[in-house]
């Protein structure tokens, strides 16, 4: 959404800052190849003229050639291709991987961070459904997968220049996009007029808002790629106290308190 603003550019999930160099990141990608799709699609689209199978292969080769390059330098290369627009990146590995936020802060001291949250129950239920659909079991408890990134974000953004970080509940944003997208634009110091805000409400216009070529299909939420659109949303009632549908008695105290601090 935010990247739809005329002065911004919505990159797919590059996940680049999960490592200091591309070689570091590639180790993660090797184990979970779909996490590589975003950066491949970005390089193909922005640097090679379009998201085709051949361009994705070329993008992969290009990244391999520069495997020792720092991910910050790679990112600057991508930024140069979208100038004068500024990138918007919501890569999940940037909050799931220790050190990623610090790498971003170090490379881009003036970067703006928008800390978004989703209700822990909805997050965990969604995660559990995905795991069941994929026949996956065990692993880190869903509630830990919710809590750890938030702790990492809160601590990672401690000390960031005060106007460079903000927090917003995704439910609030999705329930009233114009109200909050306007404020986000105001915060970023870019056009907050109706036309610009309207552009932000059309994420389907992004060149990455579709399933990609067969060798890089993802790079974003699969459900969104299947049916890219901003849909009406009403925050469903939820609570922090009732039993957990995926097992376990209830949320732990620390998770509940952080959830409350974040507005749940």
Q: Answer for the pair 132, 78: CB distance below 8 angstroms, yes or no.
A: no
Q: Does 227 bind other proteins (CB under 8 A)?
A: no
**CA angle centred on 227, ends 46 and 244, rounded to 5°:** 115
**3-class secondary structure, 5:** coil
Please list the alpha-helical segments (H only) found in 37-141. Answer: 37-47, 53-65, 71-82, 93-96, 100-107, 120-133
Indicate the residue among 166 and 230 with the shorter CB distance to other proteins.
Answer: 166
Determine if residue 50 is left, alpha or beta; phi over 0 gives left, psi from -120 to 50 gives alpha, anything else beta: left
Q: Does 93 bind other proteins (CB under 8 A)?
A: no
Q: How far is CA 1 from CA 6, 19, 134, 202, 204, in A?
A: 11, 26, 28, 7, 9
- 30 makes contact with other proteins (CB under 8 A): no
| 151 binds other proteins per the rule CB under 8 A | yes
Whose Cβ is closer to other proteins: residue 28's or residue 168's?
168
Within 8 A by CB and 6+ apart from 135, the residues are none
Q: Does 22 bind other proteins (CB under 8 A)?
A: no
Interaction pattern, residues 99-138, with other proteins; x per rule: CB under 8 A: ----------------------------------------
Backbone angles phi, psi at 113, to 5 degrees: -120, 125
Interaction mask 155-184, other proteins, x per CB under 8 A: x--x---xx--xxx---x------xx--xx
Q: Would you say 64 or 186 has its CB closer to other proteins?
A: 186
The pair phi, psi for residue 116, each rounded to 5°, is: -105, 145
Q: Does 194 bind other proteins (CB under 8 A)?
A: no
Q: Report how many residues bind other proteins under the rule CB under 8 A.
A: 24
Binding of residue 217 to other proteins (CB under 8 A): no
**Site of interaction with other proteins (CB under 8 A):** 151, 155, 158, 162-163, 166-168, 172, 179-180, 183-184, 186-187, 189, 253-254, 257-258, 260-263
């Amino acid at each position: 959404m935010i990247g739809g603003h005329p002065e911004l550019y919505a990159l797919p999930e590059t996940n680049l800052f999960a490592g200091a160099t591309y070689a570091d990141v590639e180790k993660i990608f090797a184990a979970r190849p779909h996490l590589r799709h975003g950066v491949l699609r970005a390089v193909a689209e922005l640097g090679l003229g379009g998201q085709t199978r051949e361009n994705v292969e070329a993008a992969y080769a290009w990244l391999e050639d520069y495997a020792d390059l720092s991910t910050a330098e790679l990112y600057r290369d991508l930024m140069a291709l979208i100038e004068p627009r500024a990138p918007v990146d919501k890569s999940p590995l940037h909050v799931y991987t220790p050190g990623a936020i610090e790498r971003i802060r170090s490379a881009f001291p003036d970067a703006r961070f928008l800390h978004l949250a989703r209700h822990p129950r909805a997050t965990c239920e969604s995660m559990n459904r995905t795991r069941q659909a994929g026949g996956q079991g065990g692993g880190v408890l869903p509630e830990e997968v919710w809590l750890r990134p938030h702790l990492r974000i809160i601590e990672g953004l401690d000390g960031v220049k005060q106007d460079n970080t903000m927090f917003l509940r995704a439910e609030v944003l999705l329930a009233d996009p114009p109200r909050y997208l306007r404020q986000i634009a105001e915060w970023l110091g870019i056009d907050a007029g109706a036309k610009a805000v309207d552009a932000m409400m059309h994420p389907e216009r992004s060149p990455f808002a579709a399933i990609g070529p067969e060798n890089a299909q993802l790079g974003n939420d699969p459900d969104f790629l299947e049916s890219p659109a901003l849909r009406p949303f009403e925050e469903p009632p939820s609570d922090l106290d009732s039993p957990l549908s995926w097992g376990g008695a209830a949320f732990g105290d620390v998770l509940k308190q952080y959830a409350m601090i974040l507005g749940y």
